[in-house]
Amino acid sequence: MVASREIKLITFLAIASLLFSCSKSRRPDPDAKISLDASMGTSGTWEMLGFHPGNRVPDFLLYSTDGSPYHLYKELANKKPTVIINASHTCDFSRANLPAFKSIVDRYESKANLVIVYTIDAHPSDTLSPYAENDRPWIPPNNVRDKIETPQPRTYGERVSLSQKWKEENAISVPVLVDGPENSFWNTFGQAPNMCYILSDSGYVEYRETWFNGQKLEQELDRIAR
């Protein structure tokens, strides 16, 4: 049973990676509908998601909140390691980790490329969470406390607008890229709300965290980013 589940997951990642690497080289239509996908991690496969140390990741093209294109392998050409973290407005986990991430930006911005990818919202107020284990919207207590009650964007344009708001409200200085309407980055790099990668300048995974941990990330950056 476990082996069958692993084979299905590996097959899914291979197909998603191929589709992602062959995606269209133009910005998505603002009216393109968002796919309301569910994470495979809820079946207990969190650590299997995405890529692992030694894997070479596919190139990707995403657009920042201001519409600027971001080609991963063009950025890697500057011979610095790249740190990629994903997050969303309604993810209380990634929101709590922003101070630690900003500290990392202050310390390592000259030594590494740092970028956030805004993915499918983790805890929307109007639809199921992509991480839900039941059939009801899942609003974490921290979202109630912080008055975060936001519906899931239904179009790419809505996702861009929400990511712009999120970046401005949290004073994020590094590029925030917006995942496409098919959730290509999220489906390929790992269907978790706050993952982190350190990539070498040739695109290989040097380090990964299924759940962002600022202290461990700093330790790895001390080793890798010189």
Domains of the chain: 2-224 (3.40.30.10)
Q: What is the pLDDT of residue 26?
A: 85
**Angle between helix 214-224 and 92-108 (nearest 10):** 30
Mean pLDDT of the chain: 90
Asked if pLDDT for residue 8 goes beyond 70, the answer is: no
CA distance 220 to 214: 10
Tell me the helix, strand and coil percentages in the chain, rounded to 5.
Answer: 40, 15, 45
Taking only the tens place, the pLDDT of each residue in 105-137 is 999 999 999 999 999 999 999 999 999 988 888
Q: What is the pLDDT of residue 134?
A: 82
CA distance 85 to 88: 10
Taking only the tens place, the pLDDT of each residue in 30-49 is 999 999 999 999 888 899 99
CA distance 134 to 202: 41
**Mean pLDDT of the region 181-190:** 97
Strands 196-199 and 205-209: what pairing? antiparallel
Taking only the tens place, the pLDDT of each residue in 61-78 is 999 999 999 999 999 999
**Mean pLDDT of the region 174-195:** 97
- Residue 183 CB neighbours (<10 A): 19
